[in-house]
Amino acid sequence: MLVTSLTLALSLALATPTPISDDTQLCHTANAGFWVKGKSTDVLFDTVRRPTVGKNNYKSPSVETLNTIMTSSVPTIALVSHEHWDHFDPIATMEHLSANPNIQYVMTKGAYNKLNIKGVSADVLDRIHAVYPAADTPQTLTFDDVSLEIYRISHGAGRAENNGYRVIVDGISFFHTGDIDTNRAQLKEAGLTNTPVDYMLLADWYGTYSAKDKQSVLESWNIGTIVPMHLSARAASWMQEFGGLKGVQERAFNTWDNSLRLTAEMACVIASKE
């Protein structure tokens, strides 16, 4: 795939709605993992992870789902928000790249540094793109017919590098925040002000417990539908304040007027222009 890169303007104009084919789908894989099935190109967000022994707080995709992804012949862009185990599996990533020449990976520099690239062919290395934009300089990449915008979204002070991705597939925009712990000032500096997005894949805690964070979301993005993600599989004592595990998970959906429940593995919706 031909790749080009340029600086992204700090404000984005709202696109004129266009007819969209019903072929475009948004599917949930596990945890913060999603699979956008486009007409000619697919996009994966934080998806390629094998089950990790002793780490069951956040689910991994089933072997069947992962094998389907690994062997897909559709040109695919795989995006990694950050290096933490519940979003990124360096071994599975290299298996995917080595076995499937149709894959392009984009990840943070921190995630890239966890890959074992010793002895890896130049063809594979050419399909790994390590990007972590400056705080005030978003970056774009273009892979054939898919436009990708990369923003620095803070995971919290002192924590891992975290990329937020805005992707346009078949004229439909998707934004995946990765793990987010930030504020309006940082989001504005990153270039996010009323940024149009049809499907916002938003970590379930952000904006759920803080009115200030909720306002940051509303000011930073112009959102069609919010898809809460990264729901924990564990129960903890602090959750009792919100009605236990079920209460915490429901709170994420009740916070937003325009939320979509997409939590089961390979639950899919036909994506449309908002």
Q: How confident is the model at residue 18 (pLDDT cuts 50, 70, 90)?
A: very low
Lookup result for tokens 């112009």: 222
Neighbouring C-beta atoms of residue 104, cutoff 10 Å: 23
Q: How confident is the model at residue 248 (pLDDT cuts 50, 70, 90)?
A: low
Q: Provide the 3-class DSSP secondary structure of residue 55.
A: coil
Taking the C-alpha atoms of residue 147 and residue 170, their distance in angstroms, rounded to an integer, is: 10
The strand pair at 163-169 and 146-152 is best described as antiparallel
63-70 helix and 90-99 helix, angle to the nearest 10 degrees: 40
CATH of domain 23-270: 3.60.15.10
Each residue's pLDDT tens digit, 150-200: 999 999 999 999 999 999 999 999 999 999 999 999 999 999 999 999 999
Taking the C-alpha atoms of residue 192 and residue 200, their distance in angstroms, rounded to an integer, is: 13
Each residue's pLDDT tens digit, 198-216: 999 999 999 998 999 999 9
Angle among Cα 173, 46, 37 to the nearest 5 degrees reads: 45
Each residue's pLDDT tens digit, 87-109: 999 999 999 999 999 999 999 99
Give the Å distances, CA to CA, from 235 to 28, 158, 189, 246.
22, 26, 36, 9
Q: How confident is the model at residue 20 (pLDDT cuts 50, 70, 90)?
A: very low
Lookup result for tokens 């992962």: 66
Domain boundaries along the sequence of the chain: 23-270
pTM for the whole structure: 0.88
Buried b (16+ CB within 10 A) or exposed e, 91-101: ebbbebbeebe
The terminus-to-terminus CA distance of the chain in angstroms comes to 29
